[in-house]
Amino acid sequence: MSSILSKAKTSQKHVLPFLIGIAVIVGIFAIYSSKAAQTCITTLNPGADVSSAIGAATPGSTICLHGGNYQGFRIDASRTNKSNYVTITSSEGETAVFTSNLTFDNARYIRLQNLKFNDGLVFRPAGSNIEIKNNEITGSTGVTMFGDYRSPADSGNSSCPCNIYGVLIEGNNIHDIDYEGAQGLGGGVGIGGFGDVYNVTVKNNSIKSPASDYIQSGIIHDWTVDGNTFLGPSLQFPNHPTDHQDLWQIFGCDTGCYDTNHLIYNITFTNNIARNTMTAESLLFQTAYFQNVRVENNLFDKDSRGTTIQIYNTNGLVYKNNTHIEEGESVDAGQGAIFRDGGGTAGANYQITNNIFIKVRGSAVALGTEGRAGSWGTYDYNVTNDGSASGVNSIKNWSPNWVNTTYYEPIGLPYLAGYRFNGGESTNI
């Protein structure tokens, strides 16, 4: 036995330096690869004509901007219709600031990263392969995408010049999105998608204090909102007291559109934290028929003044492992969460399981259903601090007991319920 151990130790002595050497080589290769990938074809000084540089850039190239102020611009497809990404970025260790709005018409293969935008970004009326990464965004708008509102038959046609698709919004600091006067479409919104906008990923961003919705969208499909942190205070009070502010509002049409002709599908909201946002609602999915909606492992921490969750008619709803800590401070004191029946086509295949709903104030219930919605699937293994949880395995009238009040990990439950921090969320909380 001692001989075996001795050989193992000897082997480790030789193996360890070898592994370290491999790691160093890999690290050096990664550094050089990264630098190669960020090689600037041109470097501009403050005040330069960035739009012309984009137009002249070859696909796959990078434009670097020295720190300082640059004017915003509107640029059309003749200069932005690329076949591979053109990257616009700040020079290493510097911050380039766009002092006015940037608008891209029909942009394709555009990447904006490590920049600051003082009056937001707009993409219209079409575009694809757009990346917005690691920027600071503030001003009257955040990131707004206006599709061209064509027929539903066009929405899946990637060759149609009427839609925006293939968008990544990742790692940005979006904050203090305000506007003056009457609320308009996209005004004061952190991230907006209107018209035919699909295949959008909103990932690992921090969104703080918009005057209107944190995210707002119309008839969309294939949206993933994952690992984001939504922070208050909202600007609804006192600056915009008449606004109906939501964390994410999805709307189909004006009223009564709960049928398959107004279909919104493949919607994912996972691993997000909303803290002290105090919106009217957090998730308001309304005036459309939804299909394949997944809301899983989110923490809603004093995020709403009224009803925190309202989700209407859906075929295929997974609502699982979410924690709601609600203040209920509004005069209407809405539900913690309510799954609604808007009439029209019935929902189906609901899985409302393993959630914690805590209603702190107000007379309304922590977990509620409307009309037929209570029969559209499974409601079980949920926890409420009142008597509103249904299902034979649910826990009613639970006295909240937490490991801490940062992530609200529960103590004393017989099964896994509520949010669990998994390290993928933004840490700016």
What pLDDT is attached to residue 22? 43
Q: Any idea how long the chain is? A: 429
Q: Same domain for 55 and 109?
A: yes
pLDDT at 33: 37
Q: Which residues of the chain have pLDDT under 70?
A: 1-38, 149-161, 180-185, 236-240, 327-334, 361-362, 423-429
Q: 307 lies in a domain?
A: yes
Q: What is the rounded CA–CA span in Å between residue 105 and residue 77?
A: 6
Cα 213 from Cα 366, distance rounded (Å): 23
User: Are 274 and 229 part of one and the same domain?
Assistant: yes
In this prediction, residue 181 carries a pLDDT of 56
Residue 422 falls inside a structural domain = no
In a domain, 419, yes or no: no
Domain that holds residue 4: 1-37
DSSP letters spanning 111-156:
EEESEEESS-EEEEEEEEEEEEES-EEEES-SEEEE-----GGGTT
Burial class (CB in 10 A: 0-12, 13-18, 19+), 305: buried
Q: What is the pLDDT of residue 428?
A: 46
The domain total for the chain is 2
- Judge if 28 and 64 occupy the same domain: no
Same domain, 53 and 13: no
| Cα atoms in the Cβ-side hemisphere of radius 13 Å centred on 142 | 30
pLDDT at 372: 98
pLDDT of residue 11: 42
Domain annotation covers residue 84: yes
Judgement on whether residues 6 and 151 belong to the same structural domain of the protein: no
Distance, C-alpha 397 to centroid of its chain: 32
Sign for the CA dihedral angle at 252, 256, 261, 266 comes to positive
CATH number reported for the structural domain that contains residue 125 in this entry: 2.160.20
Residue 198 and residue 220 share a domain: yes
Q: Are residues 231 and 272 in the same domain?
A: yes
Residue 152, preceding peptide bond in cis (omega within 30° of 0): no
Q: Is 427 within the bounds of a domain? A: no
Query: 372 φ, ψ to 5°?
Result: -75, -15
Q: What is the pTM of this model?
A: 0.88
DSSP tag of 401: -
Is the residue at 428 inside a domain?
no
83 within a domain of the structure (yes/no): yes
> Are residues 172 and 30 part of one domain?
no
- 1 and 144: one domain? no
Residues 30 and 71 in one domain: no
The per-residue pLDDT for range 179-194, each reduced to its tens digit, is 765 556 678 899 999 9
Same domain, 230 and 316: yes
Summarised one tens digit per residue, pLDDT across range 91-128 is: 999 999 999 999 999 999 999 999 999 999 999 988 99
Number of H helices, E strands in the chain: 3, 34
Q: For residue 356, what are the contacts with CB-CB under 8 A and spacing of at least 6?
A: 322, 323, 324, 382, 383, 384, 408, 410, 417, 418, 419
Q: Quick one: pLDDT at residue 159?
A: 52
Q: Terminus-to-terminus CA distance in the chain, angstroms? A: 53
Q: Which residues of 391-403 are buried (b: 16+ CB within 10 A; e: fewer)?
A: eeebbbebeeebe
Quick one: pLDDT at residue 347? 98
192 and 248 share one domain = yes
Q: Compute CA 95 distance to the chain's CA centroid, rounded to the nearest angstrom.
A: 25
Q: Is residue 89 part of a domain?
A: yes
Q: Which tokens in the block code for residue 379?
A: 């409601």
